[in-house]
Chain A
Amino acid sequence: MKILVIEDEPEMVKTIESFLSNEKFIVEKATNYDSGIEKVFLYEYDCILLDISLPGGSGLKILEKMKKAGVAGNVIIISAKDSIEDKITGLDFGADDYLTKPFHLAELHARIKAVMRRKQLDGKEILHFGNLSLDFKNRLVFVDEEELKLTRKEFDMLSFFAANTNRLITKEALAEHVWGDNTDAADNLDFVYSQMKNLRKKLKDSGADIVIENVYGIGYKLDK
């Protein structure tokens, strides 16, 4: 899986690169508008992470050119600008998602996976792991072909773990994923804890062979 990161902040690039490499992605970098254009048109990527403010031009401009030229690429905009107009323009120009900096790496990972999953040829969006299958399109979970009834939030949480296996997810990142950006995470940490208790109980009772473990009270981890 090849990912292009178009981002001018060197430390940001380094962090994303080291994170994605760990996830077995091949990461390429472009740190300005021109090299971004060059790489986008020369090579093919499974996913492109695109910053908007770049030296030499706007990331939106790259997106526009890609769209005009019919260059395919699963683009996720990563921007420090939480601007509604940018979001709309970006999505209009064919971006698949918009992530506002600062974001949690687990969130980035989940978004990348979701984008890539949606672009899979069969379009079924079903993920299997262990004896579990997650149907993202219809938001259903099956344990050995038997449906496991989950609430909306429980499904959101389970799918977040499914996208971030073997990774310690902090309660904050989880709360933010489930509750959205403008939620005071502090409000909901207890709630996350109780929801996780329910989810883990449901998984256990249904005979799922995956375990989401609590790590030192810091967060949770799904081991595969």
Chain B
Amino acid sequence: MKLVNHLVLRLSTTFIVVLFVWSVAYFFLQMNEIYDGIDEGLNNLKQEFIIKANTTEGFVADMVKYNPLNIIVEEISAEDARAFQETYSATTVYFPSELEKEEVRMLTTAFRCESDKKYYRLKIFTSTVESDDLVKNILYMLAGLWIVLALALVFLAKKIIFKSSKPFRKLLAALTDFQMDKSKMISFEPTSIDEYRELNKVVEKFLQENMQAFVNQKNFIENMSHELQTPLAIALNKMELMLNDKTLNRRQLEEINTTLQILNRMKKLNSGLLLLAKIKNKQFEDNELNLNTVFDETVNNFEHLIEYRKIKLQTVNNAQITVRMNVDLAYVMASNLLKNAISYNVQGGEISIVFNPGSITIANDGEPPENSNRQIFDRYFSAADDNRSFGLGLSIVKSIADRYRFDISYRYDSKHIITLIIL
């Protein structure tokens, strides 16, 4: 979920609940107020009626006789009158004039008329039709306010949060695109928000330190491999000299040979590392070249080995692929790919090299991979129990591909398939 939506959802949920509770409370309070007003009016009417009844002789009798629309007077016993509780109630009354029942607010009370010394029960009521309209209006207004506020809140919150998190999003986008080995610092969006400024500062510092560490590491690998060359050369050559010492017996010669083989492996590993470091660090002169030709010549170079392993190799030139790249790196890439396809092939297997517009696909037979396929381009990865290679070959291919922004991928689909997409 996006941060904006998350925040808006959290905020608006809280606000909408508060707003709702408030609206409901307000509504009922207002309703009470309205009924209070009506009840007070009824009470006034009652007071007036009783005063009139007390002072005007025959008033009550007239009232009973004429039976006005909003007053009902009935005589009751003194006991009943004394026990009577004055009540306000919402009820319905049948109005003959309207031919229907209407909702009314009714005050029911009892009083003793001073003029005729009798006890009466008095019901005074008033129609609540108008106040119902009022209540409805209040309800509509409240609902309207509630909806408008909620919408405005969601919309505004979304807009404000979105706008004010712009530096954050910019930073995120820049970090996504950031490449450590390009040694190009990302650009930061100026912002007036302290936290974002702080974040930008911290990220910048962090990146700078890491870029420095990365450069140091690159240089370290390159310098280290370079410095190792001479001692390795001396050790190798001394062993080679000893190998031709006529006084040594077979066992000693075999020991020397083993040492030589190990030194040779070190040498290969070291020069592989050096090449990797160089591909990543150094400038190379690039030229237009045809990759079909490069692969053809590489295949030629390996032809005896391919023959020896009884491998059937076919090249399909559906397209001519011309790129701008360094010629030596192109050959290193082609020969490492081909070597890989030969080394991990089965005796009598097949290799196909297919050139399509914008892509080269190399497929070869071989044992299915054991597990994850992704890591075959990782440094030092080589299949288990395998002393055929040092796992640097495909890393070198990957580095060269990265350098020229070729997209390289691997999959296994009854064959090992490496695809190189060249834009």
Contact = CB atoms under 8 A, between A and B. Distances in A.
A and B from one assembly? yes
Interface of A: 9, 11-12, 15-16, 18-19, 22, 80-82, 84, 100-106, 151-153, 167-168, 170, 172-173, 181-188, 191, 194-195, 215-216, 218-219
Interface of B: 226, 229-230, 232-234, 236-238, 240-241, 243-244, 250, 253-254, 257, 260-261, 264-265, 267-268, 271, 274-275, 284, 304-305, 308-309, 328, 332, 335-336, 339, 342-343, 387-390, 393
Contacts of B264: 172, 185
A126 to B, nearest CB: 26
Contacts of A216: 250, 253-254, 257
Given A12-B234, A102-B237, 18 more contacts: A15-B237, A16-B237, A19-B240, A22-B244, A80-B229, A80-B230, A100-B229, A101-B229, A102-B229, A102-B267, A106-B240, A168-B253, A181-B271, A182-B336, A187-B305, A191-B305, A195-B304, A216-B250
A163 B291 CA distance: 36
Nearest to A184: B389
A105 to B, nearest CB: 5
Contacts of A80: 226, 229-230, 233
B241 A18 contact: yes
B255 to A, nearest CB: 10
A102 B236 contact: yes
Contacts of A151: 304
Given A102-B237, A172-B264, A187 B274 contact: no
A12 B233 CA distance: 8
Contacts of A104: 236-237, 240
B254 A218 contact: yes
B233 A187 contact: no
A152 B241 CA distance: 29
Most chain-B CB neighbours within 10 Å: which of A100, A170, A215?
A: A170
Contacts of A167: 244
A183 B250 CA distance: 28
Nearest to B234: A11
Contacts of B271: 82, 100, 181-182
Contacts of B335: 182-183
24 contacts: A9-B230, A12-B230, A15-B237, A15-B238, A80-B226, A80-B230, A82-B275, A100-B229, A102-B229, A105-B237, A168-B244, A182-B335, A184-B268, A184-B388, A186-B387, A186-B388, A191-B304, A191-B305, A191-B308, A195-B304, A215-B253, A216-B257, A218-B254, A218-B257
Contacts of A152: 304
A153 B304 contact: yes
Nearest to B251: A216
B241 A9 contact: no
B233 A102 contact: yes
A16 B275 CA distance: 26
A182 B226 contact: no
Across the A-B interface, give the 10 residue pairs with the lowest CB-CB distance, nearest first. Answer: A102-B233, A80-B229, A101-B233, A218-B257, A15-B237, A105-B240, A11-B234, A102-B232, A172-B264, A102-B236
Contacts of B237: 12, 15-16, 19, 102-105
A188 B268 contact: no
A141 B244 CA distance: 27
Contacts of A184: 268, 339, 343, 388-390, 393
A88 to B, nearest CB: 9
A3 to B, nearest CB: 15
B224 to A, nearest CB: 12
A62 to B, nearest CB: 19
A194 B309 CA distance: 11
Contacts of A153: 304
Nearest to B396: A182
Most chain-A CB neighbours within 10 Å: which of B238, B261, B304?
A: B304
Contacts of A103: 233, 237
B390 to A, nearest CB: 7
B389 A218 contact: no
Nearest to B393: A184
Nearest to B269: A184
Contacts of B253: 168, 215-216, 218
A218 B243 CA distance: 10
A195 B305 CA distance: 9
